[in-house]
Structure 1
Amino acid sequence: MEACMGFLDRLDPDILLKIFTYVDDPYDLVRVSSVSRSWRHFVIANGLWKQLCLRKFSQLSRVTHIVELNKCWAVGAVEVGSSHSKEWEYLERDDRAYALLARASTTFIDRDCISKAISASSTDNYPEESIYNTLNPADTSYWSSKGQSNPAVPETLVYKLADDFCVITEINLRPFQVYFHEGLPIYSAKSVRFRMGHPKSPTDSGNDLLGYSLPDSVDDKFIWTYTSQEFPMAQESHLQKFRLPEPVLCVGGILQIELLGRVQRCEIDGLYYICISFVQVLGRPLSPALGVEILEPCGKFVLKIKNERPFELQAQSNHTVTGSVAEAS
């Protein structure tokens, strides 16, 4: 223990901070915090949990402040009469929030994160071929766009995610193969791109748009804070997986799928269509541990610590080293 403290004392603080910024695994930072009080103090004072989270999720640069709901954590001891006691309390609160976020975003197993379908840019036959059908894994149901003579006309599908605050890792699509047309054509897109964001109005969750075709008003309803690269799409009817280069923190719970370009023309009317049979979004909702409140019109948000207990219970079932994890909070 004395050697550990001596290591901190002998190194220049800037050099030591540079060394610790190479720690990019939450459980390694848990271990660093558990070495001694001196190391724990260094982690809190320099906001190492926050720095780790910002490196993983650039969206966190829009956090204005942190709020603890139903606070049940004891603030660390501070020197009586210290003029910095309040500042240290804030540092400890930030440490708890970002430690919880880092752990919650990496601990839980990915699951389907779609809650409901909101709207499609066009629908050929509503409601028989509506966007609702894309939530059914059966390969006989599908959404179909309207036909276009220009194959470059894009389409968009908008969904509400399972949580307003979640980490998205992968989005999977299955183009529809029209088994009742001659030649069994597959109406895929040439490529696909993904956007994530939130409603422009805090009171507008998108529920008033459910199922309708809204070619002109989607961008009037939502603000997109993340846009992915463009992924090529195969003209094949199996579930095609599009894994994002890095996990994305979606703040606001809205996903838009952009279907770019058309490859299949219908022999009946000579028009180009896009048809999608199934959409799956994989990720990790961060509720009930954490939540957000989006501030308009600036688009920044408040990060809320809602309840750490459910996270701890699940973490105990998934990990055998939870003693150190609990100490970090």
Structure 2
Amino acid sequence: MEADDGGGGAGAGAGWDFLEWVGPDTSSCVFELLYHPADLARAAAVSRSWRRFVIDNEFCKRLCRRLCPEVASFTRAAVVTRRPEAAASESSRDAELRARERDHAVYCHLGGALVSGGPSEDCILACVGASSTDNFPQEAVDNTLQPQERVNGHSSYWSSGGQDEPDVPESLIYRLTSDLCLVDEIRIRPFRAYFQPGNPIYSSRAVRIRMGHSMLPPGTETFVTDENENLTAMADENYTWTYTSPEFPVLQESVLQTFKLPRPALCIGGIVKFELLGRIQKQATDDRYYICICHAQVMGRSLSPDLMVDISNPADYSILKYLPGASKLSEDDTLNNDGSDSTEWHSLVSRYRQMRHLAISNPMFGPAQRNLLLGPVQFVDEDDYEGGDIDGYMNIHIHMDGFMEM
């Protein structure tokens, strides 16, 4: 920011920089008060000194962490292009500056994605498994993907196994539509057994969710089918949980009940676990407690395909990757890997194929989720992103829905 001092004489027309005038400490306090990524983008566009101040102090990363604390799980950020970048000879200082500029680009885009006003949709893609099932496959967990109480003339619900004690919990695990989803609420509908005397409702006392990622090797993830109850996938050591919600009390009513999270939470890894805590209803025929769910939803927004996490090592989901222009990649590009493609490109294409196959083969998959996954995606070529020209790159790519375009 520059201003004329208005005093005439030698100082007339002289400009001054707000950052130099108030000093770095006070300037940092002011910049920390900015609460929207667009504000930081505007500030970075004022002048080169302001841009350098924003980048050097990692304000975009810090703002993302305030918006969504799960972002602190990322230890590194990367920009992925289809062609590997040629190794450049540069000093350690130049490498550090380049890394800061890269982080600024990635977190600026992430910030825009976190605050964009896209519609909230059911993000469940498939059922991984249930802790128990009373009658498999008739009462399997994949029935909870159906919003209807009856399908093809038959009741559609999941039923736990019976228990003598009411405090025994159950759990249901789902795979979401992408590895990065911003979740704001969950919904469940307990099942009313209208074919039993008194039409009992087998709700749980409370529900809680955990979100995280699988520790299984890539490509080995399995799901419930009519032939496979998939109990081995339910072992807790198969997962790392990075978010746990509060407990929400569940009403003993057969309606779709909504439980809003205290704040939108980022699911890093695309796995959500419903923990059904406590039992209320006994079954008259065996005097045992059951939990039955008719329908479940995880409401939120997918942040892919522009943003993803590194799945090459299931023990490390801490690398946040930004893929500029990923919304226009053609299907042919996912099927034809060139020998010159980067390893990151190969990893993404493999992941895209896996999710696409799952979407096509899953009869429960709805049109909204199918369009989310099967729509075109595109990567930018290396000519569109040059690490040394972040200025031009940022002016083009910080546009988001509800965000700003420089």
Q: 1:125 aligns with which of 117, 123, 135?
A: 135
Aligned to 2:102: 93
Quickly say closer, same or farther: Cα 1:43–1:233, change in 2 above 3 A: same
Q: Aligned partners of 2:398 and 2:57: how far apart in 1? A: 29
CA contact (8 A) 1:160 1:253 kept: yes
Aligned residue identity for 1:127: P
Quickly say closer, same or farther: Cα 1:205–1:245, change in 2 above 3 A: farther
Q: Map residues 84-163 of structure 1 onto 2, 5 A cutoff.
A: 84-107=93-116, 108-140=118-150, 141-163=156-178
Q: Aligned partners of 1:118 and 1:182: how far apart in 2? A: 33
Q: Does 1:218 align with 2:235?
A: yes
What is the Cα deviation at residue 188 of structure 1?
0.5
Q: Map residues 189-204 of structure 1 onto 2, 5 A cutoff.
A: 189-203=204-218
CA contact (8 A) 2:214 2:314 kept: no
Partner deviation per Cα, 1:277-319 (whole Å, 9 max, x = no partner):
0111111111110111157575452111123353989966x44
Aligned to 1:237: 254
What is the Cα deviation at residue 52 of structure 1?
0.6
Aligned residue identity for 2:71: L
Q: SS at the partner of 1:207?
A: coil
Aligned to 1:76: none
Aligned to 1:182: 197
Quickly say closer, same or farther: Cα 1:323–1:310, change in 2 above 3 A: same
Aligned to 1:327: none
Greater share of residues in strand: 1
Give the alignment's TM-score, normalised by structure 2. Answer: 0.71
What is the Cα deviation at residue 207 of structure 1?
1.1
Q: Aligned partners of 1:88 and 1:263: how far apart in 2? A: 59
Equivalent residues, number: 315
Quickly say closer, same or farther: Cα 1:104–1:233, change in 2 above 3 A: same
**Rg bigger for which structure?**
2
Q: CA RMSD in A?
A: 2.7
What is the Cα deviation at residue 208 of structure 1?
5.6
Q: SS at the partner of 2:17?
A: helix
| Runs of at least 5 residues in structure 2 that lack an aligned partner in the other structure | 4-14, 84-89, 151-155, 329-395
| Runs of at least 5 residues in structure 1 that lack an aligned partner in the other structure | 73-80, 325-329
Partner deviation per Cα, 1:97-144 (whole Å, 9 max, x = no partner):
001111112213222111100100011111111000000000231101
CA contact (8 A) 2:208 2:276 kept: yes
Task: Work out the percentage of aligned pairs sharing the same amino acid.
Answer: 43
Task: Say which is worse superposed, 220-229 or 47-56, in terms of deviation.
Answer: 220-229
Aligned to 2:273: 256
Task: Say which is worse superposed, 196-205 or 211-220, in terms of deviation.
Answer: 211-220
CA contact (8 A) 2:127 2:224 kept: no
Q: SS at the partner of 1:177?
A: coil
What is the Cα deviation at residue 203 of structure 1?
2.1
CA contact (8 A) 1:123 1:213 kept: no
Q: Aligned partners of 1:115 and 1:276: how far apart in 2? A: 17
